[in-house]
Chains A and B, each alone.
Chain A
Amino acid sequence: EAGVAQSPRYKIIEKRQSVAFWCNPISGHATLYWYQQILGQGPKLLIQFQNNGVVDDSQLPKDRFSAERLKGVDSTLKIQPAKLEDSAVYLCASSHPPVETQYFGPGTRLLVL
Chain B
Amino acid sequence: SQQGEEDPQALSIQEGENATMNCSYKTSINNLQWYRQNSGRGLVHLILIRSNEREKHSGRLRVTLDTSKKSSSLLITASRAADTASYFCATVASYGKLTFGQGTILTVHP
Residues of A with C-beta under 8 A to B103: 41-42
- Asked if A90 lies at the interface with its beta carbon under 8 angstroms from chain B, I say no
- Asked if B84 lies at the interface with its beta carbon under 8 angstroms from chain A, I say no
Q: At the interface, is chain B mostly helix, strand, loop or mixed? A: strand
Closest 8 interchain pairs by CB? Answer: A42-B100, A104-B43, A101-B45, A106-B42, A42-B88, A43-B100, A42-B103, A42-B101
Which single residue of chain A is at the shortest CB-CB distance from B9?
A: A40
**A48 CB → nearest B CB, Å:** 6
User: Among A33, A41, A101, A105, which residue has its beta carbon within 8 angstroms of that of B42?
Assistant: A105
Number of interface residues of B (CB under 8 A): 22
- Asked if B2 lies at the interface with its beta carbon under 8 angstroms from chain A, I say yes
- Asked if B44 lies at the interface with its beta carbon under 8 angstroms from chain A, I say yes
A: contact size bracket: 20 to 34
Which single residue of chain B is at the shortest CB-CB distance from A45?
A: B97
**A99 CB → nearest B CB, Å:** 10
Which single residue of chain B is at the shortest CB-CB distance from A104?
A: B43
- Asked if B102 lies at the interface with its beta carbon under 8 angstroms from chain A, I say yes
When chains A and B are docked, how far (Å) is the Cα of A40 from the Cα of B44?
17
Whether B100 contacts A104 by the Cβ 8 Å rule is no
Known: A42-B2, A48-B96, A56-B97. A100 touches B31 (CB 8 A): yes
Whether B98 contacts A45 by the Cβ 8 Å rule is yes
Residues of A with C-beta under 8 A to B96: 31, 48, 95, 97, 100, 102
Residues of B70-88 contacting chain A, CB below 8 A: 88
Whether A107 contacts B42 by the Cβ 8 Å rule is yes
User: Per-residue CB proximity of A78-113 to B under 8 Å, as 1/0?
Assistant: 000000000000010101010011111111000000
